Amino acid sequence: MNLLLSNNEAARLAALHQYDILDTAPEQAFDDLGFLAAQTCATPIAVINLIDANRQWFKAKVGLDVEEVPVDIGFCPLCIQQRDILIIPDTLSDQRFATNTVVTSAPYVRFYAGVPLLTPEGHAIGTVCVVDRVPRKISHEQVESLKAISRLVIRQLELRRNLTQLASIKAEYQQAKQKLPWKEALLRSMTGVSPLAEQQVREQAVLVDIVTDAIIVRDLSSSRILLWNKSAENLYGWKAEETLGKKTDEIFSNEPLPQYWEIYKNVLKSGSWQGELQTITKSGKKIIVESRWTLVRDEHFQPKSILVVDTDITDKKQLEKQFLRNQRLESIGTLASGIAHDLNNVLSPILMSVPMLKASCDDERSRQVLTIVENNAKRGANLVKQVLSFARGTEGDWVKCSPSTGDAPKGAAFGDRVGCDYPKRDSHRGGEAGNACAELPCGSQSSIGWAYTSARTVLQLKELISEMTQIVEQTFPKSIVVKTEIQPSLLPFCGDSTQIHQVLINLCLNARDAMINGGTLQISAKNIFIDQNFAKMHLDAQVGSYIVLTVSDTGIGIPNELLDKIFEPFFTTKEFGKGTGLGLSTVMGIIKGHGGFMTVSSSVGKGTKFQVYLPAIKTAATQLTEDRKNIPTGHGEWILVVDDEPAIREITKVSLEKNNYKAMTASDGIEAVALYAQQKDKISAAIVDMMMPDMDGITTINTLHKMNPLLRIIAVSGLATSEQMLLDKASELIAFLPKPHTAQELLKTLHSVISRH
Predicted pLDDT at 336:
60
pLDDT of residue 630: 67
- What's the confidence (pLDDT) of residue 538? 72
Contact 607, 519 (CB under 8 A): yes
What is the per-residue pLDDT for 398?
A: 37
Q: Domain 458-621, what architecture?
A: 2-Layer Sandwich (3.30)
Which helix (H) or strand (E) covers residue 585, if one does? Answer: helix 583-593
pLDDT for 718: 58
Say which range, 147-151, 403-407, 452-456, 700-704, has the weakest mean pLDDT: 403-407
Residue 642: per-residue pLDDT: 93
Q: What is the pLDDT of residue 690?
A: 84
Q: For residue 455, what pLDDT is reported?
A: 52
Structural fold of domain 9-159: Beta-Lactamase (3.30.450)
Does pLDDT of 449 surpass 50? no
Cα-based angle 599, 603, 609 (whole degrees, multiple of 5): 35
State CA 627 to chain mean position distance.
29
From the centroid of its chain, how far is CA 169? Answer: 36
Percent of the chain's residues with pLDDT above 90: 27
7: confidence class by pLDDT, cuts 50, 70, 90: low
Dump pLDDT digits (tens) for 289-346: 999 999 988 777 888 889 899 988 887 777 676 666 666 666 666 666 656 645 655 6
Please, which pLDDT band fits residue 570 given cuts at 50, 70 and 90?
low
Under DSSP, the state recorded for 118 is: E
SS3 of 36-81: HHHHHHCCCEEEEEEECCCEEEEEEEECCCCCEEECCCCCHHHHHH
- Integer Cα distance of 465 and 481 in angstroms: 15
Q: Please give the Cα distance from 206 to 198 (Å, whole number).
A: 13
Per-residue pLDDT, 444: 31
Q: What is the 3-state secondary structure of 681-713?
A: CCEEEEEEECCCCCCCHHHHHHHHHHHCCCCEE
pLDDT band at 614 (very low <50, low <70, confident <90, very high): very high
CA distance 140 to 4: 28
Query: In 502-637, which ranges are E strands?
Result: 519-530, 544-552, 597-603, 607-615
Direct distance between the N- and C-terminal alpha carbons of the chain, in angstroms, rounded to an integer: 67
**Residue 285, pLDDT above cutoff 80:** yes
Gap between the Cα atoms of 502 and 484, Å rounded: 18
Which range is least confidently modeled, 239-253, 434-448, 524-538? 434-448
Contacts of 29 (CB under 8 A, 6+ apart): 156
Rounded to 5 degrees, φ, ψ at 230 are -60, -40
Tell me which of 382 and 552 has the higher pLDDT: 552
In which band, very low, low, confident or very high, does the pLDDT at 57 lie, cut at 50, 70 and 90? very high
Helices 140-176 and 182-189: crossing angle, nearest 10°?
80
Superfamily of domain 631-754 in CATH is Response regulator (3.40.50.2300)
Q: What is the mean pLDDT of residues 7-29?
A: 88
Mean pLDDT of the chain: 76
Looking at residue 247, what DSSP letter applies?
B
Q: How far apart are CA 508 and CA 495, in angstroms?
A: 20
> pLDDT of 107-162, one tens digit each?
999 999 999 999 988 899 999 999 999 999 999 889 988 998 999 999 889 888 87
pLDDT of residue 346: 67
Residue 737 has pLDDT above 90, yes or no: no
Q: What is the pTM of this model?
A: 0.39
Q: What is the CATH number of domain 177-312?
A: 3.30.450.20
Q: At residue 200, does pLDDT exceed 90?
A: no
Task: Look at residue 87 and tell me whether its pLDDT is greater than 80.
Answer: yes
What is the predicted pLDDT for the residue at 446?
31
At 621 the pLDDT is 36
